[in-house]
Amino acid sequence: MAEHPIQGLMGVTIDKIREMVDTSTIIGDPIHVDAATTIIPVSRVTFGFASGGSDVAPKSDKQMFGGGTGAGVSVTPVAFLVISGGNVRTVQLIEKVTAVD
């Protein structure tokens, strides 16, 4: 069975999301402030994508297909891990609003 054109569109979209969102996006690169202190940024990443298409009954030998995909990514800094003098503490950037946060 031949691959439907929408599968190709979805595959490209998902691959691009994978390129944008990886573990280094969530837990950032360590920042060495001095010999004893390191700060590591922590972010919340949300993403979504949609795709759709339609097959139009051909009046000729050409296959008629229309389709599209879209994606959105949001990266929000939420905290820093501060490692200093053998201790680790979390510095939150926003207060918890609900039990889910």
Statement: residue 76 has pLDDT above 60: yes
pLDDT digits (tens, 9 = 90+) for 19-32: 777 777 789 999 99
The percent of residues in the chain predicted with pLDDT above 90, rounded, is 27
- Domain extents in the chain: 5-54+66-92
Residue 73 near residue 30, CB atoms below 8 Å:
no
pLDDT for 47 equals 79
Q: Which of 80, 85, 93 is nearest to 31 (CA)?
A: 80
On average, the pLDDT of the chain sits at 81
State the residue for tokens 């490692």. Answer: 83
Q: Is 85 left (phi over 0), alpha (psi -120 to 50) or beta?
A: left
State the residue for tokens 């297909």. Answer: 65
Q: Which residues are CB-contacts of 42 (< 8 A; sequence separation ≥ 6)?
A: 26, 27, 28, 77, 78, 79, 80, 81
Statement: residue 40 has pLDDT above 90: yes
Q: Which residue has the higher pLDDT, 85 or 61?
A: 85
